Structure 1
């Protein structure tokens, strides 16, 4: 179990255990848009625009994690976020 933990969570760049990181620019934009959407959920066109920014940003962030994540955990997290957003887009 320890070997799996080491393999799954160890950063391939630094060698440190990496579960979470500071948000990159795309994720900061998603966070700001989500907070604005939380305060003004029914703001008409602005609400639609913020929803698009949040969902598109999460997909972009998730794909970036899948492609460039520092360990398998980050790649799985990116895949889970993309899958979640795509499922919530379905009618």
Structure 2
């Protein structure tokens, strides 16, 4: 079990255990857009544009994690976020 967990969480670049990382630029944009959308929850054009930025940004971030994630955990996290984002997008 220890070997499997080590493989799953071990950063392939640094050798450290990596569960979370500081946000990259795309994720910072998503965070700011989500906060702005939360502050202005109207149904106008601004809210719609912010929703597009949040949903699109999450898909870009998820695709980046799936392709370039530093370990299997990060790739699984990207896959889970993409699946969630796509299922909520279709509602």
Q: Could you state the TM-score of these two structures normalised by the residue count of structure 2?
A: 0.98
Residue-pair matches, total: 91
Aligned equivalent of 1:66: 66
Partner Cα distance (1:44, 1:50) in 2: 10
Q: Which residue of 2 aligns with 1:3?
A: 3
Cα distance between partner residues in 1 of 2:84 and 2:3: 29
The answer for unaligned runs of 5 or more in structure 1 is none
Q: CA deviation at 1:3?
A: 0.6
Relative to the length of structure 1, the TM-score reads 0.98
Structure 2 gap segments, 5+ residues each: none
Secondary structure of the corresponding residue to residue 23 of structure 2: coil
Alpha-carbon deviations, 1:47-71, whole Å to 9, x = none? 0000000000000000000000000
Q: Which residue of 2 aligns with 1:56?
A: 56
1:41 shift after superposition:
1.0
The aligned runs of 1:72-91 (5 Å cut-off) are 72-91=72-91
| Over 2 Å off, 4+ runs | none
The RMSD of aligned alpha carbons is: 0.7
Report SS of the residue matched to 1:27.
Answer: helix
Q: CA deviation at 1:90?
A: 1.3
Q: CA separation in 1, counterparts of 2:43 and 2:30? A: 17
